[in-house]
């Protein structure tokens, strides 16, 4: 058993979400050539995992953050204020609201409007220095699952290129361009194709703009891919004089998160062994939605004996999947799901009234420290409607 696995298995309580500071810094180090060699600007997409301690850890190694809402923008802005206080903060969302645009323009350095209608309705009221741009939809699909495909038919995400070309040529207030069309992609071929289409559709307009944001969605999990991205970034800078941003989330934190869970019951059904875990779909909703089994590690988790690992909620389909063991996991034994750093806690719920996992940080010296526990008080506060002051009635919104 590796030192990492035995450290994870010894967390003081389960279920526990552990984020690995060393793995996050390694990922940032891997991406560094895009900044150092190509002058690209690296942002962290906060929505993947917004823990404030993690934002503080990431901040010195990035050029800023990318937000998808006012709350994310506030959290990132506060992290920037705790740090060097500088850097870029980008936002794009179909959800921009008139009552929020003033504050967003104060906090964010770059706003990419999702539609021309949104731009025309909201841009005029912006007095602050945020640089304005358009999120475009290049119309090139690469994903099989339309639920993840921003370029699906009738997409709500971004302005179609034809419309965007006309607007960018006419509107001097628009200084930049944003697109994001991928999810968990391990090759840069789609990015190359997308840039090709963008350059032929927008041509000279690109030379007038100040910046372009290539979005996220690429895992960039090898040095070769990072070099390839650095070349693409350098090319854009040379040809058009653009400042080039990219804003990965999962590439930075995906492999740096683990969920430690414990077997709390075991029985046979129809000839299959079923082990019930003290976690479930409420902690890893993507397992249910996309029917994907997360990677697993644990003592004995590499053998031939099949065992169905299931969550403890009422949902019949709350199933992690069938795994194979050298020795079937017994009650009280712990297992670890890997590669669950991104889009797990941000999409977790307290469905069935089960608590959120406690959160632990795996420090660089190998110590695991608890950083957050929720418990019944947090659960009650979420649902209590009587006898508490109304939060958010005024300034807290
Ligand atoms: C979600 C998102 C990202 C980050 O995506 P990853 O897959 O985590 O890299 C970046 N930009 C936009 C606009 C997004 O919606």
Does residue 238 sit in the same domain as residue 261?
Answer: no
pLDDT single digits (tens) 221-232: 999 999 999 999
pLDDT of residue 1: 66
Instruction: Please tell me whether residues 183 and 332 are part of one structural domain.
Output: no
Residue nearest to atom 8 of ligand 1 (CA): 249
C-alpha 142/C-alpha 198 separation (Å) is: 15
Same domain, 117 and 201: yes
- Same domain assignment for residues 74 and 125: yes
Output the CA 288–ligand 1 centroid distance in Å: 21
Report whether residue 338 contacts ligand 1, using a CB cutoff of 6 Å: no
Q: What is the CATH number of the domain that holds 187?
A: 3.20.20.10
| Single residue among 218, 248, 278 that ends a domain in this structure | 248
Q: How confident is the model at residue 299 (pLDDT cuts 50, 70, 90)?
A: confident
- The parent domain of residue 128 ranges over 37-248
Q: Indicate which residue's Cα is closest to atom 7 of ligand 1.
A: 217
Centroid of ligand 1 to alpha carbon of 213 (angstroms): 11
Q: How confident is the model at residue 84 (pLDDT cuts 50, 70, 90)?
A: confident
Same domain, 59 and 204: yes
Decide if 32 is inside a domain: no
Is residue 178 within 8 A of residue 118, CB to CB? The reply is no
Does 148 contact ligand 1 (Cβ within 6 A)? no
Closest C-alpha to ligand 1, atom 2? 216
Q: What would the pLDDT profile of 157-196 be if each residue is shown by its tens digit?
A: 999 999 999 999 999 999 999 999 999 999 999 999 999 9
Pair 100, 165 in one domain: yes
Which of 249, 255, 342 has most ligand 1 atoms within 8 Å of its beta carbon, as the pocket-test mutant? 249
Residues 285 and 364 in one domain: yes
166 with 122, same domain: the answer is yes
Q: Are 381 and 389 in contact (CB under 8 A)?
A: no
Q: What is the mean pLDDT of residues 369-378?
A: 96
Domain assignment of residue 24, yes or no: no
pLDDT grade for 395, boundaries at 50, 70 and 90: low
Instruction: Please check the confidence at residue 270 and state whether its pLDDT lies above 70.
Output: yes
**164 CA to centre of ligand 1 in angstroms:** 21
Q: What integer is the mean pLDDT of 266-287?
A: 96
Our count of domains for the chain comes to 2
How far does residue 97's CA lie from ligand 1's centre (Å)?
21
pLDDT of 397 above 70? no
57: pLDDT strictly greater than 90:
yes
Cα 49 to ligand 1 centre (Å): 11
Last-in-domain residue among 248, 275, 305: 248
Percent of the chain scoring above 90 in pLDDT: 89
């Amino acid at each position: 058993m590796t030192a990492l696995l035995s450290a994870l298995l010894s967390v003081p309580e389960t279920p526990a979400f552990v984020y690995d500071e060393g793995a996050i810094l390694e990922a940032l180090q891997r991406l560094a050539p895009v900044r150092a060699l190509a002058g690209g600007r690296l942002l962290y997409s906060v929505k993947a995992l917004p823990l404030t301690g993690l934002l503080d850890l990431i901040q010195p190694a990035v050029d800023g953050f990318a937000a998808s809402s006012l709350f994310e923008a506030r959290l990132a802005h506060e992290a920037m204020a705790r740090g060097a206080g500088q850097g870029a903060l980008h936002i794009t969302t179909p959800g921009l609201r008139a009552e929020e645009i003033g504050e967003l323009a104060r906090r964010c350095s770059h706003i990419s409007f999702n539609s021309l209608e949104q731009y025309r309705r909201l841009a005029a009221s912006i007095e602050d220095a945020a640089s304005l741009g358009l999120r475009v939809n290049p119309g090139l699909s690469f994903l099989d699952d339309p639920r993840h495909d921003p370029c699906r038919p009738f997409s709500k995400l971004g302005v179609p290129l034809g419309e965007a070309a006309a607007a960018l040529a006419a509107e001097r207030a628009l200084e930049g361009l944003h697109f994001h069309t991928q999810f968990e992609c391990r090759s840069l071929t789609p990015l190359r194709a997308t840039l090709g289409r963008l350059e032929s559709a927008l041509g000279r307009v690109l030379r007038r703009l100040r910046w372009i944001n290539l979005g996220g969605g690429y895992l960039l999990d090898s040095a070769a891919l990072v070099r390839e991205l650095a070349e693409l970034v350098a090319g854009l800078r040379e040809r058009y004089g653009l400042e080039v941003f990219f804003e990965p989330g999962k590439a930075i934190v995906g492999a740096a998160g683990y969920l430690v869970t414990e077997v709390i019951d075991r029985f046979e059904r129809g000839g299959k062994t079923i082990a019930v875990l003290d976690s479930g779909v409420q902690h890893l909703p993507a397992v249910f939605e996309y029917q994907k089994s997360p990677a697993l590690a644990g003592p004995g988790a590499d053998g031939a004996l099949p065992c169905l690992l299931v969550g403890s909620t009422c949902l019949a389909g709350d199933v992690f999947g069938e795994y194979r063991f050298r020795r079937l996991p017994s009650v009280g034994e712990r297992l670890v799901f890997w590669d669950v750093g991104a889009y797990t806690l941000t999409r977790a719920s307290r469905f069935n009234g089960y608590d959120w996992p406690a959160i632990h940080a795996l420090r660089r010296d190998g110590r695991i420290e608890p950083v957050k526990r929720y418990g019944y008080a947090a659960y009650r506060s979420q649902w209590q409607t009587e006898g508490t002051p109304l939060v958010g009635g005024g300034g807290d919104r």
